[in-house]
Amino acid sequence: MAKIIEEVSRTFSEYLLIPRLTGTKHQSKNISLRAPVARFKKGEESSLFINIPFVTASMQSVSGSDMAVALARQGGLAFIFCSQSIEAQAAMVDKVKLHKAGFVQSDSNLRPDNTLQDVLDIRKKTGHSTMPVTNDGSKNDLFVGILTDKDFWEFEDDLNRPVSEFMTAKENVFFAEAGISLHEANQLLRKHKKECLPILDSDGRLQALVFKRDYYDHMNNPAELLDSHKRLVVGAGINTHDYKERVPALVEAGVDVLCLDASDGYSEFQKEAALWIRERYPNVVIGGGNVVHTDAFRYLVEEAQVDFVKVGIGGGSICITREQKGIGRGQASALMAVAEERDRYYEETGTYIPLCSDGGLSNDTQIIIALAMGADFVMMGRYFAMTNESPTPRVSIGGRIYKPYWGEGSNRAKNWQRYNQGASETGFKFEEGIDGYVPVVGSVKEVLDVTISKIKATMCNMGSLTVKEFADNALLTRISEQSFIEGGTSNVLSLDKDAPREV
């Protein structure tokens, strides 16, 4: 006989927070949004924290290496999508790990015989205006010179002329020898009033470039998420089919966190995969999921021994899992049920399991409620798909700028297997995700700045200085349909919605 959970499935927008006493210390500048990612024992620290409680969904239309770099620079973590070949995913991880340390491996390199037109083509693709010139045009060959967009006039010079005629040749370039520290390199840039410092090995081969701009970026992004070697931290999604080949390649590339990516994670497949990884790579953090119920949480934590658990089935903005398969649970109910079980587990065993609320966060208020309900951090797809750094092209529709956004369960995403592994029989019979567009809203930094300001303002209202304290202090009320309407504007002509537009 089927059992029915009496409590109705509820969503975040059905709740409001009731303010608690705000003390004089409760000011934005004193608030920490740091969140643990790996399980830890009472009295100990998690082996991995993120500095802001945001991670990206492991999706083709969200999480490439540019996104991973942009988010880690703000203190969050991206999960590079796994619906691509193992080599391609490992290369993305590699790119993120190489990005930092201030020593940049250039991806815009020239040969002396390249033309100025080649330079413009590369600039259009990469956006870089400083390009090293090496003997064979690769990033680590013999250094010959450097070209910046100050060295030629695009509309005056003959674009068929070779780079060698315009570049600053090596004998006139100020460079440093490999082995120098980042601090020393920055001091040299400052002393010699340079924008870029090439680093060469003893044979004169290019090792890296150090930019003044990166130093400024670093100083402007104090929350940057770095590993012990000062490289950006990066995650990757994995599946339960090819993990024995995929995980070694990702670990080799330097991945810090792996997350089993499945709409329903309550499976022996996840247990087998997680235990296999745990045995071979004890230092890599592993996430499991998704789950919406207590028994599934216990299974992943006790049997599969994952580090963190992702909560949410069917709430994603592009998700049609609930209507296609009839599985899922309102995200607020799912999160509260699992968070309660997590706290019970902590009481019983002294081990804390971080929770990630995944999917269906369609505005900043919902993110706030998710954190209040016990999520340590949130995973978002649509939110990041709308930013400049998502890996999709901008398109103009009806005079507004959009980017494509599609679910990992859509045929568009699943099509990659056709070319790599052969599509599974069931893989293409029905879709679990849709294929659409979202408006472009700005850079990752710009949107996060607003969201973070709101979260911190609410935490002040709630008398909390940390995310954990916020959840512990949270007092929530359910709202009726009428109070929902009351919460909007009423009987006022809204300039946003109603005012006639000037023409």
Shortest reach from residue 381's CB to ligand IMP, in Å? 3
Q: Is 418 a catalytic residue?
A: yes
CA-based nearest residue to 64, from 37, 84, 35: 84
Q: Alpha carbon of 155 to those of 120, 159, 310, 484: distances in Å?
A: 11, 9, 54, 58
Alpha carbon distance 169, 166 (integer Å): 9
3-state secondary structure 360-382: CCCCHHHHHHHHHCCCCEEEECH
CB 355 within 8 A of CB 265: no
Please give the order of strands across the beta sheet that includes 130-134.
Answer: 130-134, 143-148, 168-169
- Complex with ligand IMP: residue 118 or 264, whichever CB lies closer: 264
Beta bridge partners of 438: 403
Q: Which residue is nearest to ligand IMP (CB)?
A: 433
Task: Give the DSSP H/E element, type plus range, for residue 211.
Answer: strand 206-211
Question: How does DSSP assign 60-71, residue by residue?
Answer: TTT-SHHHHHHH
- CA dist 374 and 396 (Å) reads 39
Residue 260: CB minimum distance to ligand IMP, A: 12
Q: How many CA atoms lie within 13 A of 369 on its CB side?
A: 24
Please, which residue, 102 or 360, has the CB nearer to ligand IMP? 360
Q: Are 108 and 149 in contact (CB under 8 A)?
A: no
Query: Taking the complex as a whole, how short is the minimal distance between the CB of residue 78 and ligand IMP, in angstroms?
Result: 12
Please state, in angstroms and as integers, the Cα–Cα distance from residue 422 to each residue in 31, 270, 396, 419, 425, following that order.
49, 22, 34, 7, 9
Shortest distance, position 306 Cβ to ligand IMP, whole Å: 16
Minimum distance, C-beta of residue 438 to ligand IMP, in the bound complex (Å):
9
For ligand IMP, the closer of residues 65 and 390 by Cβ is 390
DSSP H or E run through 137: none
Structure tokens at 469: 């304290």
On whether the CB atoms of residues 465 and 30 are closer than 8 A, the answer is: yes
Q: How far is the CB of 435 from ligand IMP (least distance, A)?
A: 9
Least distance from C-beta 291 to ligand IMP, angstroms?
A: 12
Closest CA to 430 of 405, 403, 411: 411
- CB-CB contact of 366 with 358 (8 Å): no
Choose between 144 and 375: whose C-beta lies nearer to ligand IMP. Answer: 375
List 280, 400, 418, 478, catalytic entry: 418
DSSP-based three-state secondary structure for 477: strand
| Cβ distance to ligand IMP smaller for residue 98 or 368 | 368
Length of the chain: 503
Answer whether 405's CB lies under 8 Å from 382's CB: yes
Contact 303, 348 (CB under 8 A): no
Instruction: Answer yes or no: are the C-beta atoms of 409 and 432 closer than 8 Å.
Output: yes
Measured distance CA(153)–CA(222) in Å, rounded: 37
CB of 488 to ligand IMP, least distance (A): 22
Q: Which is nearer to ligand IMP, 18 or 450 (CB)?
A: 450
Q: 319 an active-site residue?
A: yes
Query: Residues 6 or more apart from 156 whose CB is under 8 A from it?
Result: none
Q: Which residue number, 54 or 143, has a Cβ lying nearer to ligand IMP?
A: 54
- The nearer residue to ligand IMP, 101 or 260, going by C-beta atoms, is 260
Q: What angle do CA 438, 240, 98 make, to 5 degrees?
A: 65
- For the bound state, the minimum distance from the C-beta of residue 477 to ligand IMP, rounded and expressed in Å, comes to 25
Q: Which is nearer to ligand IMP, 159 or 450 (CB)?
A: 450
**Residue 475 half-sphere exposure toward CB, CA atoms < 13 A:** 7
Q: Which residue among the candidates 82, 319, 356, 460 is catalytic per the annotation?
A: 319
The footprint of ligand IMP (CB under 6 A) covers 57, 59, 263, 290, 316-319, 321, 358-361, 379-383, 407-410, 432-433
Q: Which residues are catalytic?
A: 319, 418
